[in-house]
Structure 1
Amino acid sequence: MAAFSDAEKQDLDRLGQASPDSDLTGSGQASVDSQVDYSPEEEKALVRKVDWALLPGLTFLYLLSFLDRSNVGLAKLQGLMKDIGLADKPEAYNTSLALYFVGYVLFEIPANMVLKKLNPRVVLPTLTILWGITAALQCLVKDEAGFYVARFFLGVSEAGLFPGIVFVLSCFYARKERTLRVSLFFGGAALAGAFGGILGFGIGKIEGGALESWGYLFLIEGLFTVLVGVSAYWWIPASPSRAKFLTERQRAILVARLRLDGGSTDEEPFSWQGVWDAFKDPFVHAYGWLFHCFAFGLYSLSLFLPTIVAQLGYASWRAQLLTVPIYALAFLAILVFCWASHRVNQRGSAIAVAGGIAIVGYIVLIATHTAGARLAGAFLAVGGIYAANALLLSWPSENVSPQTKRAVTSGNQIFIGDIGAITGSLVYRPSLSKNFYRLPHGVAILFTGLGCLLALSLSFGMHRANRTGNVGRAERVEKKGEEPKGDRRRGYEFQI
């Protein structure tokens, strides 16, 4: 017998399907009442329909966000720092990268709380338009102060996108379906790197007019983002029970299967108690520090890869093009590790293996002296780092419940994680580039190794909770006179 919340009953009542005493079976066929029986084939068709409605567009949004934040590395190769009078201040580039992440970190959790309190269909497109305008206006930068201000506000405007998309996906998919979907959309970051190299090469050929080539890079990519953001008001869904691309029957099935999966429907109201529960949960903070360790490599590679490749002796235009196959391999690595992780039903160990591959890549970058060997090291480091991040960023969406807590957890993970990005942007200093960034690569090995250990520790902790029926976590809540809910209730099973 299924126990529906008041909000869930209202969802089903509105759809003409409510039955508070409905029987939900686990045999591949569920029943909310006699009118909502559905077969496994019908359920698969529904999931495919949701896939096609959500994944391409949301992945493209994230591709654009990563493109607009990382194209500064290509602009640097095209003479940005010289043209704005910072050729004699090489550290200014690192400062601008750090300021971007300061803005990103400060507004991460508030942005996701606003998303939960308001409507994703309004919030996500608005964020896209705002960061697109900010990205485009970077073409007008003339001096150091303007450069810093532009990078800071680009971080502020992009802050809510990634955790917001993760939250939206968690509202439409069952727990075990989320890793694949979040990993696929995170693959947009790798694709952004590949497309960025091609676009940077092409736009870099533009000469004449009021702007330098790097100015056209910012302007064209930023304005395109604005156009996509405007279109997003029409195709980003508000919530499962109000998704216009689904029929009434499909919406009822979606609500029922999410409830069967142990989740909650999209109409769960914002709760300050949910916010507090997130900050009290050690697992929530562990997710954040896990991303902190891997974000060091993720963002330092994405922002400095063009420079690293150029140091191997390639001209700037060749360096831009050589980043394309590296990021293409990273996207393939994401798909392979996502598939393997789903196949063996493991997350923590898969993250550790991917991190191990990245460490091997960094060692090759440090220990070898030929361009070919170092390029191979870059392939391994980028592929491993991107695959690990894809898995760890989707992990909380499978394990954190209810919704307000999950929304805050996603924001908190990016908040803590991107402090690692700030560290990475400052460690890869120009003064250390003369030695091919060997010291920063060594620091990256340390961060990645700690991340591997933390992934295994977190997996072990959740395995122990599963083995005891989550009794320990439930009892700690009960001792305070509260009722265990979501991932703190007895019998809740974590995806390890």
Structure 2
Amino acid sequence: MASEKAELDGTTPRPGASDGYSDSDGIEGVHSATVNERALLRKLDIRLLPAVSVLYLLSFLDRSNVANARLEGLTTDLGMTGNQYLTGLTLYFIGYVLFEVPCNIVLKRTTPRFWLPTLTLVWGIIATLMGVTQNLSGFFAVRFFLGVAESGLFPGVVFYLSMWYKRTERQYRISLFFSAASLAGAFGGILAYGISQMRGVGGYKGWRWIFILEGLLTIVVSASAYFFITNYPSTTKWLSDDERKFIHARLKADSDATEDEAFRWSEVWLAVKDVKVWLYGLTFHTLSLPLYTLSLFLPTIIKDMGYTAAHSQLLTIPPYALATILTIAWAILSEKSGRRAPWIIASSTLAIIGYIILITNESPTKRPGVSYTGVFFAAAGIYPSVALALSWPANNVSGQTKRATANAMQISIGNLGAVLGTQLYRPNTAPRYLLGHSFALGYLCLNIVVVSILWLVLKKQNKAKELHVEQNPNTAGFLNNDVEKHRGDRHPRWKFNV
């Protein structure tokens, strides 16, 4: 409490100043003249969310289609062992983790319209090259650089959306965006099944065509993305002047999104020193292992229940479809309740049930329906939890550079769990995969612990802020002047979403 009070000291009193949650500063005037807020939000959703969601769908498709390609003979044709295949998966996440923060710094110093499509183009080329890889070394190299190229998309888009929407509106939008991951799993199964029928065309095996066609699709979409990805509200041409002013007014009263904040290394350091940022990272870390082990090994897990490769591709679709529906539903319920932590805990508990079912089924080949039911519970619990966890810092961290750094740190810290997870589903543990399932179960239990700790920390700091404002009723409002706007989430009137 002493450290929190010290952080709050030094606030410049301004009699009559409002807090950071009022919709004042001219919003009513603009609204009554020409702008309907609900219609404007629909317009933003239609113009922004499909564009970035398509990019993320392609990103998840290009990183996880290796699981589908494995069923079509990838490891056999390249002469790799099961453990060498796992090493290739690990290299992807090493590249991903190393370049998260640098990529978001580049985004902050350039523009979304340049950076996001460029990342997509680069990983599309790399993903296509996977289809012509001839040996183990090539497989390792492509997987590493695919991780490097894809590392900047998710944290970049989370930061990007935080510059358009109010804090109370971000959770739902980020969850919709993330639902493209589970949708990619469903599409991946359908596409892999269809594309694998091209085996022999052009002298290529079916697994090569999976990489080539999906990679070429990414390249085509990236070229058009330079035109359909927009920058920030102040420079967007498809907004009228009144709409632009209205967005500026509503965001100014809510967060730092309207500030023309220059990049400062001191803000990066603030993120690194903030214990809450590390807890956000650990929240995702405890989810990334089950998330990526499920997405990368689900086709193999199902195949080892006794199904054919073709049927396994198709059987991945229903669990992902359910996960997509629940991700959106959970986001709506969380948004309406104004809470994150209890919904993450509830969803992770659902996934825990799934892994208990998988672990306790002693004979997946004799009772495949039991294990398949466990897969449904696991997918239905993991994806909603991840969506809520990844949107948390977008709601709670301010200012801009600190938030961009925090978003990237969360993904970097989180994906260290994926690095470990890629080594757990070893061929000699099939078909029960006790090692991998047990780690996933343990991580999900740890997730509940970490989320509970973060919940308590946020509530404690909110109480400290409330106490400070009660003792200093003339505390200046958030973003009311140049002194206050640089304090970001350290400001006494900034309330953390729990």
Deviation at 1:25, TM superposition (A): 10
- 1:145 pairs with 2:125: no
Larger RCO: 1 or 2 (CA < 8 Å, sep 6+): 2
Residues 172-214 of structure 1: per-residue CA shift (max 9 Å, x gap): 0000100000000000000000000000000000032132111
User: Is the Cα–Cα contact under 8 Å of residues 95 and 145 in structure 2 kept in the other structure?
Assistant: yes
Structure-2 change in CA distance of 1:470 and 1:492 (3 Å) = farther
Paired position in structure 2 for 1:236: 229
Paired position in structure 1 for 2:416: 419
Unaligned ranges ≥5, structure 2:
1-15, 470-482
User: Is the Cα–Cα contact under 8 Å of residues 251 and 258 in structure 2 kept in the other structure?
Assistant: yes
CA distance in 1, matches of 2:466, 2:71: 53
CA distance in 2, matches of 1:206, 1:103: 31
Counterpart AA for 1:108 = E
Out of 27, 40, 43, the residue aligned to residue 37 of structure 2 is 43
Paired position in structure 1 for 2:114: 122
Paired position in structure 2 for 1:461: 457
Out of 145, 164, 169, the residue aligned to residue 172 of structure 1 is 164
Paired position in structure 2 for 1:154: 146
Paired position in structure 2 for 1:492: 494
- 1:73 pairs with 2:67: yes
- 1:251 pairs with 2:244: yes
Out of 230, 238, 260, the residue aligned to residue 253 of structure 2 is 260
Deviation at 1:27, TM superposition (A): 10
User: Is the Cα–Cα contact under 8 Å of residues 471 and 491 in structure 1 kept in the other structure?
Assistant: no
Paired position in structure 2 for 1:99: 91
User: Is the Cα–Cα contact under 8 Å of residues 108 and 415 in structure 1 kept in the other structure?
Assistant: yes
Counterpart AA for 1:333 = L
CA distance in 1, matches of 2:327, 2:145: 30
Out of 418, 425, 429, the residue aligned to residue 426 of structure 2 is 429
User: Is the Cα–Cα contact under 8 Å of residues 115 and 123 in structure 1 kept in the other structure?
Assistant: yes
Paired position in structure 2 for 1:386: 383
CA distance in 1, matches of 2:255, 2:21: 16
Deviation at 1:427, TM superposition (A): 1.5
CA distance in 2, matches of 1:29, 1:416: 36
Q: SS of 2:197's equivalent?
A: coil
Unaligned ranges ≥5, structure 1:
1-21, 474-481
CA distance in 2, matches of 1:112, 1:124: 10
Q: Structure 1 length as normaliser, TM-score?
A: 0.90
Deviation at 1:263, TM superposition (A): 2.7
Paired position in structure 2 for 1:11: none
Out of 290, 313, 321, the residue aligned to residue 320 of structure 1 is 313
User: Is the Cα–Cα contact under 8 Å of residues 29 and 39 in structure 1 kept in the other structure?
Assistant: no
Counterpart AA for 1:400 = V
- 1:438 pairs with 2:434: yes
User: Is the Cα–Cα contact under 8 Å of residues 167 and 410 in structure 1 kept in the other structure?
Assistant: yes
Deviation at 1:337, TM superposition (A): 1.1
Counterpart AA for 2:435 = L
- Which shifted more, 414-423 or 30-39? 30-39
Paired position in structure 1 for 2:9: none
Paired position in structure 1 for 2:217: 224
CA distance in 2, matches of 1:53, 1:269: 27
Residues 208-256 of structure 1: per-residue CA shift (max 9 Å, x gap): 2132111110000001101111111111111111112211111111111
Out of 289, 301, 305, the residue aligned to residue 308 of structure 1 is 301
Paired position in structure 1 for 2:178: 186
Structure-2 change in CA distance of 1:40 and 1:453 (3 Å) = farther
Counterpart AA for 1:101 = F
User: Is the Cα–Cα contact under 8 Å of residues 20 and 494 in structure 2 kept in the other structure?
Assistant: no
CA distance in 1, matches of 2:455, 2:126: 40
Aligned length: 464
Deviation at 1:430, TM superposition (A): 1.7
Paired position in structure 2 for 1:478: none
CA distance in 2, matches of 1:450, 1:493: 26
Q: SS of 1:469's equivalent?
A: helix
Deviation at 1:274, TM superposition (A): 1.0
User: Is the Cα–Cα contact under 8 Å of residues 119 and 150 in structure 2 kept in the other structure?
Assistant: yes
Out of 56, 78, 84, the residue aligned to residue 84 of structure 1 is 78
User: Is the Cα–Cα contact under 8 Å of residues 27 and 246 in structure 2 kept in the other structure?
Assistant: no
User: Is the Cα–Cα contact under 8 Å of residues 470 and 492 in structure 1 kept in the other structure?
Assistant: no
Structure-2 change in CA distance of 1:359 and 1:39 (3 Å) = farther
Deviation at 1:262, TM superposition (A): 2.9
- 1:299 pairs with 2:295: no
Paired position in structure 1 for 2:5: none
Out of 260, 267, 286, the residue aligned to residue 279 of structure 2 is 286
User: Is the Cα–Cα contact under 8 Å of residues 34 and 242 in structure 2 kept in the other structure?
Assistant: no
User: Is the Cα–Cα contact under 8 Å of residues 163 and 414 in structure 1 kept in the other structure?
Assistant: yes
- Which shifted more, 486-495 or 67-76? 486-495
Deviation at 1:24, TM superposition (A): 8.3
Paired position in structure 1 for 2:342: 349
User: Is the Cα–Cα contact under 8 Å of residues 35 and 242 in structure 2 kept in the other structure?
Assistant: no
Structure-2 change in CA distance of 1:27 and 1:392 (3 Å) = closer
Counterpart AA for 1:402 = G
CA distance in 1, matches of 2:396, 2:21: 23
CA distance in 2, matches of 1:46, 1:287: 31
Deviation at 1:32, TM superposition (A): 3.0
User: Is the Cα–Cα contact under 8 Å of residues 239 and 266 in structure 1 kept in the other structure?
Assistant: no
- Which shifted more, 167-176 or 208-217? 208-217
Paired position in structure 1 for 2:11: none
Counterpart AA for 1:260 = A
User: Is the Cα–Cα contact under 8 Å of residues 95 and 426 in structure 1 kept in the other structure?
Assistant: yes
- 1:374 pairs with 2:366: no
User: Is the Cα–Cα contact under 8 Å of residues 164 and 257 in structure 2 kept in the other structure?
Assistant: no
Deviation at 1:119, TM superposition (A): 0.7
Deviation at 1:33, TM superposition (A): 8.2
Residues 452-477 of structure 1: per-residue CA shift (max 9 Å, x gap): 1111211121112112216789xxxx
User: Is the Cα–Cα contact under 8 Å of residues 23 and 33 in structure 1 kept in the other structure?
Assistant: no
